[in-house]
Amino acid sequence: MTDPLFSVEGQVVLISGASRGIGRAIAQGFATRGANVIITGREASTLESTAREICPPDGTVLPIVCDVADPKARENLMDGIVDRFRRIDTLVNCAGVNRRRKVEDYDEETYDFITNINIRGAFFLSLAAGRHMIRAGRGCQINIDSINSVRPLKRVAPYAMSKAAMSQMTRSLAMEWGPHGIRVNAIAPGFTLTDLSKPLWSDTNLDKWREENTPLRRVGMPEDMVGAAIFLASEAASFITGQVLAIDGGTTCGLFWPIEV
């Protein structure tokens, strides 16, 4: 029997960037636990196939194409969800992009592409959902952050900057919306194996460095983020807000010295 303290059954949950990777894993986690799940992304075919593959029998996974950087698309998305389900209980901001290069080689177009999706789109999607949550007097928002917000790697400056902004967005919204019964938290994944990161971890030297600096000695998987998302959306986390939870195998605990002392 499901413990009601940790249940998300019947919730209306919107997950952006859910076609693949962490977003897909979280969407499947909610769907298999009885939530009504809406997934968004920019590619219709990928989004639709994801919905078919993760939807359990008698479950609900609704794919809606939406570019979170598009203001009109965001409003239409939220209005459509509320028209159909009459509410939104949980928003998971997972849409994100990155383009790696030396910091001096970034141009304004690339910078805008990264920040428009990672922070501008996330912020205004949060506001669109937040307005409905304020009227309802309750709600939950979960932002997918990154340990790059506190320990940035080389050649990801705009990405790291956008994730640092997301940490502060999480705290700011939690402060402002707490009196309305809305909780806002974030999950900060560490080194995680996704379609986008596979080329990095296929490099033997880099993978060895990653392992040596991860106390649990393995790479994270998208599925490792599911439990935290379910927990944060459940009644078990009803007195938790404004927090950034690192799910990184211990990477941010410290650094391993290359010598024994």
Closest CA to 30 of 63, 71, 74, 60: 60
Name the token pair of 35. 């939530």
Helices 226-233, 21-32: axis angle to 10 degrees equals 50
- DSSP state string for 153-194: PTT-HHHHHHHHHHHHHHHHHHHHHGGGTEEEEEEEE-SB--
| Cα–Cα dist 173/168, whole Å | 9
Tell me if 88 sits within 8 A of 12, measured CB to CB. Answer: yes
Nearest to 92 by CA among 229, 235, 240: 229
Residue numbers annotated as active site: 159
What whole-number distance in Å separates Cα of residue 244 and Cα of residue 236? Answer: 16
Distinct helix (H) and strand (E) counts, the chain: 9, 7
Q: Which residues are CB-contacts of 128 (< 8 A; sequence separation ≥ 6)?
A: 74, 75, 77, 78
Task: Bin 44: left if φ > 0, else alpha if -120 < ψ < 50, else beta.
Answer: alpha
**Tokens coding 185:** 């938290």
